[in-house]
């Protein structure tokens, strides 16, 4: 009888862990499927006011690849790095390859139609970036 109780308990634990892992992987897979494409800056928001990109930022974009690499264009400057997603915190961290600087972005919205990322600067100011989808990225860097 004691062995039956122990087996039942162990089975329940294993099922719970499997279900948790599956759910996490599913969320992770869904996020990766949505984020891995080219995202073009359409507007940004500061202090509750929305603005179009400045002329030098009209071509700004981020390309997230399935291999967790990222390419960003900001004012004509191209940078490369890696990205990782924290599903619990709903944050996207981008790490620059050259400077190793980490930029943490809150994922406000992500779906097929658009992406809203929020950045908080060290002084506490918040910048929201509204992005529209472009091309779907491949497994390789371009």
Tens of pLDDT along 60-119? Answer: 999 999 999 999 999 999 999 999 999 999 999 999 999 999 999 999 999 999 999 999
Residue 127 lies in a domain: yes
The pLDDT assigned to 29 comes to 84
Query: SS in 3 state form for 22-82?
Result: HHHHHHHHHHHHHHCEEEEEEEEEECCEEECCCHHHCCCEEEECCCCEEEEEECCEEEEEE
Give the predicted TM-score (pTM) of the model. Answer: 0.75
* Vertex 84 angle, CA 81 and 90, to 5°: 135
Is pLDDT of 142 > 60?
no
Q: Is residue 30 part of a domain?
A: yes
pLDDT digits (tens, 9 = 90+) for 19-53: 333 344 566 789 999 999 999 999 999 999 999 99
Q: Which helix (H) or strand (E) holds 94?
A: strand 91-96
Cα separation of 97 and 100, whole Å? Answer: 5
Residue 141 lies in a domain: no
Q: Is the pLDDT of residue 134 over 80?
A: yes
Confidence of residue 10 (pLDDT cuts 50, 70, 90): very low
Residue 98 lies in a domain: yes
**How many angstroms separate the first and last alpha carbons of the chain?**
62
CATH of the domain at 107: 2.40.128.280
Tally the domains of the chain. 1
For residue 62, the enclosing domain spans: 2-136
Contact 129, 121 (CB under 8 A): no
């Amino acid at each position: 009888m004691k062995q039956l109780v122990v087996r039942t308990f162990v089975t329940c634990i294993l099922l719970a862990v499997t279900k948790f892992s599956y759910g996490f992987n599913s969320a992770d897979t869904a996020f990766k499927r949505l984020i891995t494409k080219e995202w073009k800056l359409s507007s940004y928001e500061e202090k509750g006011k929305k603005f179009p990109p400045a002329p030098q930022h009209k071509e700004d974009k981020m390309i997230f690849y399935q291999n967790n690499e990222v390419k960003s264009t900001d004012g004509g400057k191209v940078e490369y790095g890696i990205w990782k997603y924290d599903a619990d915190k709903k944050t996207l961290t981008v790490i620059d390859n050259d400077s190793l600087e980490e930029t943490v972005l809150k994922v406000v919205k992500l779906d097929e139609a658009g992406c809203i990322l929020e950045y908080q600067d060290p002084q506490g100011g918040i910048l929201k970036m509204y992005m529209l989808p472009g091309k779907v990225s491949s497994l390789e860097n371009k």
